[in-house]
Structure 1
């Protein structure tokens, strides 16, 4: 069963990839989805706005960031972690 974070991240990424959210699988990479560096930046801005979080400024440089963008699942996990850190229940 998917959760709200997974669903919303998939919707944001699908919008950037001009796909239906159902076409976005958790094992896909941004490259698989045809999302370039500009699309990544726009996705990050949309994620920040949707979850009221701050993504590390170097998220688009995977070798220098703890925000893993290697797959949709890793982005979901990173967003979950940031939400937990920045909005503790």
Structure 2
């Protein structure tokens, strides 16, 4: 299975910053199965947001919600990036 650039970036953050074994990182892996406590899980989401220069609205993804997978996180990031790409620049004439 080929991985998306978004997934590869997330996997690198998990490996490098949170010491999650690469063998435990797959698109179908639930965030709750990464072995991170609730604080580390929030820090992980913040690290991902910083890496992608975006903020994930809590209504799009609550990392405390059971069953959220890395694939879902990728989908939300890609959707947010797509929305930001098509948004009007700040200060643009109306």
Query: What range is the shorter-chain TM-score in?
Result: 0.7 to 0.9
* 4+ long deviations beyond 6 Å: none
Matches within 5 A, 1:1-80: 1-15=2-16, 17-56=18-57, 58=58, 65-67=59-61, 69=63, 70-80=68-78
Q: Distance in 2 between matches of 1:32 and 1:17?
A: 13
**1:11 counterpart SS class:** helix
Alpha-carbon RMSD: 2.0
Q: CA deviation at 1:55?
A: 1.4
Q: TM-score normalized by structure 1? A: 0.74
Q: TM-score normalized by structure 2? A: 0.70
Size of the aligned set, in residue pairs, is 81
Partner of 1:83: 81
**1:31 counterpart SS class:** helix
- Flag structure 1 segments of 5+ consecutive residues without an equivalent: 59-64
- Flag structure 2 segments of 5+ consecutive residues without an equivalent: 87-94
